[in-house]
Amino acid sequence: MHEMIIIGAGPAGISMAAEARGVGIPADKILILEKGDAHSWAIRKFYPASKPVLANYKGINAVCTGVMCLTDMTKEETLTYIDRVIEQCELQVHYKEAVTAIRPLAEGGFVVETSGGVYQTGRCIIAIGILDKPNKPEYRIPPTLTKRIHYDITTVALKDEDCLVVGGGDTAAEYCQFLVQQGNHVTLSYRRKEFARLNPVNLESLLALEAREQVTILRGSNITKMEDDGGRPRAVFQETEHPARTFDRIIYALGGTTPVNFLKVIGIEFDGEVPVLTQGYETSLPGLYLIGDLSAGKKGGSINLAFNMAAEAMRYICTCPLPAR
């Protein structure tokens, strides 16, 4: 029986365990279950190599309130920082164990089922993020194009290719910068006329690339169809000012979605599409918490926000005895 099972070994999950160690919960009473073969799967998959990881991301003020804190660093330094926390706090992480079900017990606590086993815990913290299934476009993509369509930047190394990045947030801007550095021809399709969501660093870098004609930005462009043009993707736009064009690669940067069904099946109460959370990110099921990107809302999350949520959850847990069993 574990005191605490944490699902997801990303920034939220690891900092939750570090907070628990900080208040004296023994390492062997905390178990982290991670579906990937290493911690921080989303960072490894979606961040370009050497990406500057910004402490103040999406305008979220980088004031740290818990034991973990991100300063501006690279992707690799961020992963090393998390490696060190796992080592120093002697965290027990079971990798390659995707959680498939969580069952609340009538007497209190939870049973957690994974691809590799069944566990029981007093408290359960879900920190699985929203990037497990990246958002996809509404139009159909011909299956013949699958190898030329991407939802991340790390699976295939691209060089000397004509790439279309689709999106208008920080991820899209960072993908453009990375693809240019790798020697690709880059076009960005954004459905709005103005960039409203970019952090100032990314906005400045993107506009500088445009000024140097290293990125072409199709502002106010909406793709309505993706066609197979002799094995290459041809994007058809709604607006006549943007004629249809064939590219070597399409890279979507459309964010992710809360895994609503997974959470609803557990029995968590929702208000529309948003889980109802009380103090310390506790759900309607006492002892079950949602932290990190999962609870960050529409604006999206950041690493320091995930760290701070873990700290807040732990502060609340310290004041609140386990539900009776």
Report the interface residues with ligand FAD, using CB under 6 A: 7-13, 33-36, 40-43, 46-47, 53-54, 57, 98-99, 127-129, 131-132, 171, 174, 292-293, 301-304, 306
**Min CB(97)–ligand FAD separation in Å:** 7
Please, are residues 97 and 116 in contact by the beta-carbon 8 Å criterion? Answer: yes
Closer residue to ligand FAD (CB): 8 or 237: 8
Closer residue to ligand FAD (CB): 104 or 292: 292
**Min CB(39)–ligand FAD separation in Å:** 6
**Min CB(4)–ligand FAD separation in Å:** 15
**Min CB(11)–ligand FAD separation in Å:** 4
Q: Cβ contacts of residue 161 below 8 Å, gap of 6+?
A: 184, 185, 248, 249
**Min CB(317)–ligand FAD separation in Å:** 18
Closer residue to ligand FAD (CB): 55 or 236: 55
Closer residue to ligand FAD (CB): 189 or 304: 304
Closer residue to ligand FAD (CB): 137 or 259: 259
